[in-house]
Each structure stands twice: as C-alpha cells, then as structure tokens.
Structure 1
Amino acid sequence: MKVAVIGGTGLIGSQVVGNLRAAGHEAVPHSHSTGVDVISGQGLDAAVAGADVVVNTTNSPTFDADSLAFFQTSMDNLLAAAVKGGVGHIVILSIVGVDQVPELDYYRAKVLQENILAAGPVPYSIVRATQFMEFMDDVLSWTSDGDTVRLPPTPIQPIAARDVAQAVAEVAVGAPLGGILDIAGPEVFTLDELGRTTLSRKGDPRAVVTDPAAGMFAVVQGDVLTDPHARLAPTRYEEWLA
C-alpha cells in the first residue's frame, strides 16, 4: 500500500513512516523540507497523487485564533489534492475530548479540521490522542516562575508518541473508520502529580504548586478516555521516563 505522510518528518509523522515501512508498505514523508506546503498548496498535488492513503500530521505553528485559518486552508487544499489524486482514505491526528473545550482557540481549530474532513468527499479516519508524554517539559515551562511550577489538578492520561504513531499507522492501512478512534496511555494522573513525578525523576529542584487556574489545562476538564471502545496504549509513564 502506498501512503503519503504529510508532516512526515515531525515527531509523529516520522515514526508513522518508519512503522509503515517496517510493515512492508511504501510510505513517503512530505513536509516543508521536501517542498510541500499545505497552506500555499505547493507540491501537494504531486505528493498525494497515486497514494492509496494520506496521513496528515501537520500542525498549526500557533495555538491562538490564527490556528483556525491554518486548519481551514490546509484541509481545503489537502482534500482538493486528494480528490484529484484518487486517494481512497485520509487519516488525521486530533485530541481526545477536543470538542468539549470551545474556550480554547486551538481546540476549536482542531474541531474545525475534523469537521472539514468528515464533510469531505474522501473516506476518512480520525485518531484522537491524549497529551503526549514528550510534551511534559513544554507543559512545565508554561507556568514556571523561578523555583516554582504552578499546575492544576486536571486528570490526564498521557501517551507515548511511539504508541500514537503505531496506532495511526495501523489505522492508515485498515478500512476507513468513517469516525473517531480514541487512544491514551494506560494510567491516569492529575497534572500536578505528573509534574512532581517528572521533576523528581529528572533531578529538577523546582517545586510544583497546585493551582486550579494555572495554564491551558485549567480550562480542560480532563484529558482522559471516556469511550468504552477506546484503545489503551502499553507504555507507562515511568517506563517512558526511564
């Protein structure tokens, strides 16, 4: 099977390519570095022409209101190219519970991306994942002030990027879902608890202060699975830290 992976040189996309190739498929990574631009459309027609499946792991460069325009334009361009190229399946990566947080511009933008895909003419699959374990350093930096990190007690079920990439690759070579698959790691923490564990294991002397109003996750009611048909990934957080 030939799979075009748009955003195929990033954290998830590069691993999706590797997984697909290991399984015997022809997976081709596309990104700015290979001359493909989902906003201008440059190189997009050629990138997806003849592909059985397109996996889109591109992301907005910002998390503010501008992300709405990014996902609108990029999905419009991708769908047009996919129709022209005879693509039979498009897969995108989204966020568990994304439709429950309209207060966040970026979450509304991801819902827009999902809706454009679902309303389009190409069979599709949406893989929604919880917070990546790899992003914990970023989360800790958002509300760090000197020797203190403020984090809310938001429930979170973090997942390793390698597990996300494996799930996306498996969905890509299966029949289109025509809907959503939720995936998450095997454990639920509160974000402040996870922050303390992370800093301790890294030998970071900063202290975590529980603050229900701190950061983006103060708005998110929880980043955990609620769908009984969702998939639990195998990697535990302590294993990933090690």
Structure 2
Amino acid sequence: MKIVVIGGTGLIGSKVVTKLGQLGHEAVAASPNTGVNTLTGEGLADAVANASVVVDVSNSPSFEDAAVLEFFQKSTGNILAAEAAAGVGHHVALSVVGTERLPDSGYFRAKIAQEQLIAQSAIPFSLVHATQFFEFAHGIADSATDGDKVRLAPVLFQPIAGEEVADAVARVATGVPLNGRTEVAGPEQLRMDDFFQKALRSWGDTRQVVTDPHARYFGAELSERSLVPDDGAALGHLTYSDWLAGGGKR
C-alpha cells in the first residue's frame, strides 16, 4: 500500500521510509526537500493522493513558544484536510512520552494541541509516544548548559535509539488504527543526571553535571516520572553504550 511519510527525509522519517520499503510498501517521503510544504499546503494534495496511510514525524524548525504552536496547528490542520479529501484511512503521528505532564513547556503545549486536532478529526489515527532519542543527547546537554556546568534534574530517564523508534512507527503504520496511543522507550531506566554524567565522560566532554531538582527541561520543571512511560510500553533492545559502540551518531 502507499504510505506517505511527512518529514520523510529527516532522522526518523528516512528510517521509517526505508523500513516500509523493505516490507514491500510504496513509501513516499514528503518534506520541503521533496516539494511538500505542510505549512503552506504546497504539494500536499498530490503527495497524499491514493495513500492508505499518512505518517507524520515532522518537527518544528523553531521551539519558540508561538512559532512551535503555529507550526503544529497549521501543519497538522493542512495534513488532516488533505487526508480527508484523499480518503486516507489511517493517520499516524509521532509524539513524546509525558507530553500531557509538561504543560509549562511551550513545545509540549504545542504537541498537545497537535494531538487534540488529530483525535478530533474523523480520520482513524494512531499516536506513537517515544522517549528521548539517543541522537538528541548532545542537544539535551547543550540546552541544560550554563557556562561549564550542565544542570539536570535527578528524575527517571529512559532514552531510545532512533532506529527502534522508526521500527515502532513502521509497525503501527502497517497495523490497524489504534484510535489512541502506544508508548515506546529504551531498555534502561536511569536517572537523568547519572545518564549524562556517564555520557559526557564517554564523549570526552569536560563539562560538569550538576544535580538540580529544579532544573528545567524545555521550559518545564520535571517530576519523578515526567519522562518515562507507563507500564506496558514497548521497549527497545539497544542500550546507550551499545549504541555508541556500534557507531551511534548525533
């Protein structure tokens, strides 16, 4: 079947396109690089024509509060309208574990708005909530850096390899719509400050990790279980150390 992947040339999207192709599906990457702009609608109708499933793994180019909200609302609205016109039978979107627990973050408020639009649409849907990707570890550390110190809360943290997120997205995309969500996370549940202490050492990074219970994560203060899944989540197999040993990259 034809499956369109919005954001299909990015980190996760390119992996999803490859996996769907290996399963024998017609996987179409849709992004500004391929002439599809979900904010303006350019190329969107042609891209989703005759598609059975549309997968949205796109992300906002800006995390500023107003910009990220505008991106997810406008982009998602345009995608859903194009799907309705084309008769698409399944909308799949990638989101984040704990989104509903972090309303103080502009980014997570925008993701909540995206999910609400999807759930209110008449199109059958599935939401894949993933924990933080190994590939984003450097970016998380940088966002928490103050001088030569990295301030992080001692809360639970369960990151996952992007490859295993793509596996989960492809699996959901080829299945029956959930009309709800599923969660996917890495195999190890650690403390965020401990994880980054070890990670920085493995990178040869001299910054010092400072444990700060009030350290904010993309604008939100974290509680113990803000970033980890509930019971029953699908778990990956790759640990961060194994991922690095296998040539893991940012």
- Counterpart amino acid of 2:186? G
TM-fit CA distance, 1:212:
1.9
TM-fit CA distance, 1:35:
0.9
Which stretch shifts more, 115-124 or 146-155? 146-155
Which stretch shifts more, 41-50 or 137-146? 137-146
Number of the residue aligned with 2:241: 238
Aligned length: 241
Question: Which of 208, 219, 222 is the matching residue for 1:220?
Answer: 222
Does the aligned pair in 1 maintain the 2:152–2:213 contact within 8 Å? yes
TM-fit CA distance, 1:205:
2.0
Does the aligned pair in 1 maintain the 2:94–2:127 contact within 8 Å? yes
Does the aligned pair in 1 maintain the 2:153–2:222 contact within 8 Å? no
What is the TM-score normalised by the length of structure 1? Answer: 0.96
What is the TM-score normalised by the length of structure 2? Answer: 0.93
How far apart are the structure 2 equivalents of 1:193 and 1:224? 15
CA distances 1:167-217 after superposition (whole Å, capped 9, x unpaired):
000100101011000110011111111111111112222221112222316
Does the aligned pair in 1 maintain the 2:97–2:227 contact within 8 Å? yes
TM-fit CA distance, 1:145:
3.5
Does the aligned pair in 2 maintain the 1:94–1:126 contact within 8 Å? yes
Q: Which residues of 2 match residues 16-165 of structure 1 at below 5 A?
A: 16-66=16-66, 67-165=68-166
- Counterpart amino acid of 2:46? A
TM-fit CA distance, 1:26:
0.8
Which stretch shifts more, 213-222 or 182-191? 213-222
How far apart are the structure 2 equivalents of 1:133 and 1:8? 19
Alignment gaps of 5+ in structure 1: none
TM-fit CA distance, 1:64:
2.7
CA distances 1:102-123 after superposition (whole Å, capped 9, x unpaired):
1111111101111100110111
TM-fit CA distance, 1:65:
1.9
TM-fit CA distance, 1:240:
1.2
Number of the residue aligned with 1:182: 183
SS in 1 for 2:95: strand
CA distances 1:123-161 after superposition (whole Å, capped 9, x unpaired):
100000011111110011113244322221121110110
How far apart are the structure 2 equivalents of 1:6 and 1:162? 17
Does the aligned pair in 1 maintain the 2:144–2:217 contact within 8 Å? no
How far apart are the structure 2 equivalents of 1:115 and 1:146? 38
- Counterpart amino acid of 1:225? P
SS in 2 for 1:117: helix
- Counterpart amino acid of 2:120? A
Identity of aligned residues (%): 49
- Counterpart amino acid of 2:133? F
How far apart are the structure 2 equivalents of 1:72 and 1:150? 32
Does the aligned pair in 2 maintain the 1:79–1:120 contact within 8 Å? yes
CA distances 1:5-27 after superposition (whole Å, capped 9, x unpaired):
01000000000001101111110
CA distances 1:51-90 after superposition (whole Å, capped 9, x unpaired):
1100011111222322112111111101110011111101
How far apart are the structure 2 equivalents of 1:78 and 1:144? 36
C-alpha RMSD of matched pairs (Å): 1.3
